[in-house]
Amino acid sequence: MSRTVRRMIGVLAALAVTGGIVALSRAPYATGDRGARLRLSWSGRPERIERCRELTDAELAERPAHMRQRLECEGRPARYLVRVAVDRAVLSLDTVTGGGLRGDRAIHMLREYRLESGTRAIAVTVTRLDPVEEPDDEPEVGSGADRPHDDDSRSPAAPPDRGYREREERRRQRQEALPPLLELDTTVSLEAGRVLLVTYDPAARRLAALTGAGR
């Protein structure tokens, strides 16, 4: 599957999630309850915590052709701490990671809390628990590192080498994953029967709050 096709699938998935979020913001809850609701409903792929090293040309030559990658990495999906507080009182602390057998699929967070109607201070944070060690010598994308230079023996039109492409792909994956820290700190006035929905905007890479009416 090409990179363009993967990106198109990602955009369509984000639109589908957004549509579901809007529907959830209008979803009803049990009648007869004069309180309000705080609803967490978001999805995001966990970042992969990796330790990588660059293989030498001799090591690459020993690998089968289909396994020749300049960067050899081992790792696991990150864990995140989700903290929810209302009026400075902590309602929940949850440690979450991705779905699937390897934990590398999207995290799906769905929680709901009953609130007293009125003005409420809402604070939601999502914090990555696992540190990521960034290599000091890893060049920035577009810096020209790993690219052919004018004095190279290769043609100036030659594409970037394998190591550059692999690093660029990993940077792209990190940009598509959840950030190390997400914070939402807001004060809202909620009438009885109202729902405050907290979700994740993957395009802006931030938490967002939507208000809807329960029925």
pLDDT of amino acid 215: 47
| Separation of alpha carbons 81 and 94, rounded Å | 6
Q: What is the number of alpha carbons within 13 Å of residue 29 lying toward its C-beta?
A: 21
CB 62 within 8 A of CB 83: no
- Annotate 124-169 with DSSP letters as a single string: EEEEE-S-----TTPPPTTS-TTS--TTSSS-TTPPP-HHHHHHHH
Cα Rg of the chain, angstroms: 22
Residues linked to residue 52 through DSSP beta bridges, in sequence order: 73
Instruction: Count other Cβ atoms within 10 Å, centred on residue 69.
Output: 16
Task: Count how many domains the chain has.
Answer: 1
pLDDT of amino acid 197: 96
Query: Which residue reads 């966990």 in tokens?
Result: 46
pLDDT of amino acid 132: 75
pLDDT of amino acid 167: 72
pLDDT of amino acid 29: 47
Query: Which residue reads 């004069």 in tokens?
Result: 34
Residue 4 tokens read as 């363009």
pLDDT of amino acid 22: 47
Q: What is the number of alpha carbons within 13 Å of residue 141 lying toward its C-beta?
A: 9
CB 196 within 8 A of CB 39: yes
pLDDT of amino acid 140: 42
154 lies in which domain range? 3-213
In the chain, which stretches have pLDDT less than 70? 1-33, 133-163, 166, 213-215
Instruction: Count other Cβ atoms within 10 Å, centred on residue 162.
Output: 15
Residue 135 tokens read as 């290599």
List Cβ neighbours of 99 (8 Å cut-off, separation of 6 or more). Answer: 105, 106, 107, 108
pLDDT of amino acid 171: 78
pLDDT of amino acid 33: 62
